[in-house]
């Protein structure tokens, strides 16, 4: 079907279309605003003072009003005495009498009965704030285009102004849509929800963002996927609000009706922006007002909010600025950090990609890595240190590629230790005790082998491994020798942990020993190659004399114990090999197989690193040890 609007525009084109469509609309936001409420708004005209500030000549100090001429030649050695009718006591701020022209600080004088003894000669106007010293009536005190600051608010009052001309802020309505959306109260009230439903969380994200930006947002009830109802709400929305945001329904599903509703009601400015996430965003002009459809996934909504909605709000408020600059303002970016990619990243061709980045400083290099590019992963937005916007030309970004990260939090990288290695929930629990010690700790679960390899490349401070050597039955020695290549590595046996088979509660498939994984009709959930648990599994498989092809789900890979346990919990797998604490955390059954040593490996020169020192200290933290003991499946070394 032919369409009469641009599709798949670049972010710059999208922004140009918005500017063109709403540049004039911005003029309608001029308003007189009470001076306190005007804080943060942009002035639409120059502002002139209505009064002199101060409106009288005032003493700037505590002391004596005098005529400067009477103090000529006085000094500590040659004091002058001034008679009773030639001085007057002044408190700071008091009005200077007509006959006086200066004020002597009390520290430069003494009193002898009715006379003031002066130890300093004064010049006329000394210690006097003249009339209009701050501002003169009629003087321009703030100019068009300036933002009203706290200092201006108080100056406006002193200068006798009750209100000032500014651009008022747009009032926005957000309309969440979707048959599958569950409102907050209902979501929290019921522990289990039907499959195919989700909490309507975007309105909270948008409202919180608006609050941070100092903007007002109202939220409509969640609308079902019925075009007629959406149409009514959008029509009413553009009557009552300056900007309308529609949540979801942007893509091409059978229940995605936003485009047809917007086309019927007005002019679609564009459909689809060449960025990821946020690609299906739509903008329209209805009754002269902007209506933007935010793609439903949380990160897609966030990106459309930062890159389209916030710049639009600022345009309407009279602020200038380039789109990316405004997007950085939306994110409250603290600084732009040049980094090197720690992990290879493939970016789609011809599309700007927004990534949530985590950062760490190791051996003088600031590394960054993408937390996950999934559009629906809220956790990654919350966990990231910042955002990277990869250009359309970025395709296969190799490890080491230079990437600028827009830092959205103050991460003290000097004090942050980077851990890469075998995943373990007890290690994850160390972050809080380490932070309480004024340092920071970031864990990347990359498997035992991955951790040792990273340590040998100088890409982490600490690794952790539990790698079984099938020839000797010992752990780690062979691998550490192979990877350390003559570097001095410190080894610390953290604990022994029980590995076993994680199965559903009640063990419905009757799995009692390792062999059952090979002989029974079950689906297994595996770990990634290089993970200690995977090495163990492959060893056990060999010992039993089975080949991997016989294991259903052998190629189905998880990267953490919790992920594997969750697959069992959700019924996607019948069994996984993993540690007891992961099974316990989800109330699953556990069949112990073996106990293994779990070792931390630290590059010797990092022992004094603040993050590593805090880690080592935290290993004695009673609270942490208590929690690990409570988890079960761990034994401390003697
Ligand atoms: N055939 C195609 N399918 C999809 C395309 C496409 O181009 N062709 N684009 C994909 C992309 S990219 C995105 S992004 C999404 C956009 O989806 P919609 O805007 O149509 O939104 P829904 O399908 O209704 O929901 C998507 C997702 O978001 C969740 N959601 C929606 N609203 C909220 C809310 N207020 N709070 C929390 N979560 C929300 C919803 O449950 C869905 O999981 O389409 C792809 N598909
Ligand atoms: O563009 Mo969608 O927003 O990738 O997820």
Quick: pLDDT tens for 105-140: 999 999 998 999 999 999 999 999 988 888 899 999
For range 510-533, the mean pLDDT: 87
H or E element at residue 543: helix 532-544
Please state the pTM of the whole predicted model: 0.82
Kindly report the number of other CB atoms within 10 A of residue 148's CB atom.
Answer: 22
Residue 293 to residue 230: CA distance in whole angstroms = 12
Return the residue matching tokens 């285009």.
145
For range 30-49, the mean pLDDT: 94
Q: What is the pLDDT of residue 205?
A: 95
Q: Which ligand is nearest to the CA of 256?
A: 1
Structure tokens at 612: 């590593």
H or E element at residue 310: helix 310-316
Under 8 Å between Cβ of 499 and 578: yes
Ligand 2 within 6 A of CB of 233: no
Q: What is the pLDDT of residues 218-266, one digit of tens each?
A: 999 999 999 999 999 999 999 999 999 999 887 777 777 899 999 999 9
Ligand 2 within 6 A of CB of 525: no
Work out the mean pLDDT of the chain and round it to a whole number: 92
Q: What is the pLDDT of residues 331-371, one digit of tens each?
A: 999 999 999 999 999 988 899 999 999 999 999 999 999 99
Q: What is the pLDDT of residue 163?
A: 97
Q: What is the pLDDT of residues 77-104, one digit of tens each?
A: 999 999 999 999 999 999 999 999 999 9
Kindly give the distance from the C-alpha atom of residue 297 to the centroid of ligand 1, in angstroms, as a whole number: 5
Q: Which ligand 1 atom minimizes the distance to the CA of 198?
A: 41
Percent of the chain with pLDDT over 70: 99
* Range scoring the smallest mean pLDDT among 17-21, 300-304, 316-320, 616-620: 316-320
For the chain, domains (ranges, CATH) are 7-26+170-329 (3.40.980.10), 58-129 (2.170.190.11), 333-411 (2.40.340.10), 490-635 (3.40.190.290)
| Cβ-Cβ contacts under 8 Å for 119 (sequence gap 6 or more) | 74, 75, 76, 79, 108, 109, 110
Q: DSSP readout, 481-523?
A: HHHHTT--EEEEEEEEEEEEEEE-TT-TT---SHHHHHHSS-B
Q: What is the pLDDT of residues 542-585, one digit of tens each?
A: 888 888 888 888 888 888 888 999 999 999 999 999 989 889 98
Q: What is the pLDDT of residue 530?
A: 80
* Range scoring the smallest mean pLDDT among 175-189, 247-261, 422-436: 247-261
Ligand 2 within 6 A of CB of 560: no
* Best mutation site among 273, 280, 374 for ligand 2 pocket (most ligand atoms within 8 Å of CB): 280
pLDDT at 602 over 80: yes
Kindly give the distance from the C-alpha atom of residue 300 to the centroid of ligand 2, in angstroms, as a whole number: 5
Q: What is the pLDDT of residue 317?
A: 86
For range 415-440, the mean pLDDT: 95
Atom 2 in ligand 2: residue holding the nearest Cα: 277
Across the chain, how many H-helices and E-strands are there?
20, 38
Secondary structure letter of residue 373 according to DSSP: -
ipTM over 0.90? The verdict is yes
Ligand 1 within 6 A of CB of 252: yes
pLDDT at 22 over 70: yes
- Structure confidence at residue 373 as a pLDDT band (50, 70, 90): low
Q: What is the pLDDT of residue 1?
A: 56
Q: Which ligand 2 atom minimizes the distance to the CA of 295?
A: 3
């Amino acid at each position: 079907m032919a369409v009469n609007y641009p599709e798949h525009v670049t972010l710059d084109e999208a922004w140009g279309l918005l500017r063109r469509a709403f540049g004039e609309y911005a003029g309608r936001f001029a308003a007189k605003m009470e001076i306190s409420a005007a804080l943060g708004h942009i002035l639409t005209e120059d502002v002139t003072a209505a009064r002199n500030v101060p409106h009288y000549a005032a003493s700037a100090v505590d002391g004596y009003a005098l005529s400067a001429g009477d103090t000529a030649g006085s000094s500590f050695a040659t004091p002058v005495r001034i008679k009773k009718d030639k001085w007057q006591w002044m408190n700071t701020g008091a009005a200077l009498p007509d006959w006086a022209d200066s004020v002597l600080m009390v520290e430069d004088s003494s009193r002898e009965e009715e006379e003031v003894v002066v130890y300093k000669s004064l010049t006329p106007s000394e210690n006097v704030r003249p009339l209009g010293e701050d501002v003169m009536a009629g003087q321009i005190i703030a100019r068009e285009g300036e933002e009203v600051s706290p200092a201006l608010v108080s100056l406006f009052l002193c200068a006798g102004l009750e209100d000032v001309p500014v651009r008022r802020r747009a009032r926005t309505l957000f309309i969440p849509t979707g048959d599958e959306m569950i409102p907050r109260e209902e979501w929290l009230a019921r522990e289990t929800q039907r499959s195919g439903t989700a909490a309507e969380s975007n309105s909270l994200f948008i409202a919180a963002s608006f609050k941070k930006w100092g903007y007002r947002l109202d939220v409509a009830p969640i609308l079902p996927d019925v075009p007629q109802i959406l149409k009514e709400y959008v029509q009413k929305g553009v009557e009552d609000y300056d900007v309308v945001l529609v949540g979801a329904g942007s893509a091409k599903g059978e229940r995605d009706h936003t485009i047809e509703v917007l086309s019927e009601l007005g002019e679609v400015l564009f459909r689809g922006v060449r960025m990821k996430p946020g690609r299906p965003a739509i903008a329209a002009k209805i009754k002269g007002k902007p209506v933007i459809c935010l793609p439903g996934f949380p990160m897609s909504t966030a990106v459309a909010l930062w890159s389209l909605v916030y710049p639009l709000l600022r345009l309407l408020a009279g602020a200038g600025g380039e789109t990316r600059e405004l997007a950085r303002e939306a994110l409250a970016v603290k600084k732009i950090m040049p980094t090197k990619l720690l992990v290879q990243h493939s970016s789609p061709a011809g599309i700007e990609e927004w990534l949530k980045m985590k950062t760490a400083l190791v051996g003088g290099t600031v590394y960054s890595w993408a937390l996950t590019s999934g559009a629906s992963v809220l956790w990654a937005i919350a966990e990231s240190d910042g955002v990277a916007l990869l250009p359309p030309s970025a395709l296969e970004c190799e490890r080491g590629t230079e990437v600028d990260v827009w830092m959205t939090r103050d991460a003290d990288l000097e004090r942050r230790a980077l851990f890469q290695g075998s995943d373990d929930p007890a290690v994850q629990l160390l972050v809080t005790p380490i932070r309480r010690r004024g340092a920071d700790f970031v864990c990347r679960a990359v498997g035992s082998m991955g951790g040792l390899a990273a340590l040998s490349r100088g890409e982490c401070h600490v690794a952790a491994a539990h790698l079984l050597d099938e020839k000797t039955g010992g752990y780690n020695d062979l691998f550490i020798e192979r990877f350390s290549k003559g570097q001095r590595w410190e080894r610390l046996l953290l604990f022994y942990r029980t590995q076993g088979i994680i199965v559903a509660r009640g063990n419905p498939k009757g799995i009692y020993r390792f062999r059952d994984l090979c002989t029974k009709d079950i689906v297994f959930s595996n770990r990634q190659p290089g993970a200690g648990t995977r090495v163990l599994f492959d060893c056990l498989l060999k010992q039993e004399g089975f080949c991997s092809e016989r294991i259903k789900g052998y190629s189905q890979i998880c990267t953490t114990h919790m992920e594997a346990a969750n697959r069992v919990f959700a019924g996607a797998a019948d069994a996984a090999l993993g540690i007891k604490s992961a099974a316990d955390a989800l109330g699953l059954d556990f069949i112990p197989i073996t106990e293994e040593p779990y070792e931390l490996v630290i590059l010797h020169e990092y022992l004094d690193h603040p993050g590593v020192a805090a880690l080592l200290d935290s290993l004695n933290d009673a609270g942490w040890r208590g929690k690990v003991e409570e988890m079960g499946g761990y034994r401390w070394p003697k």
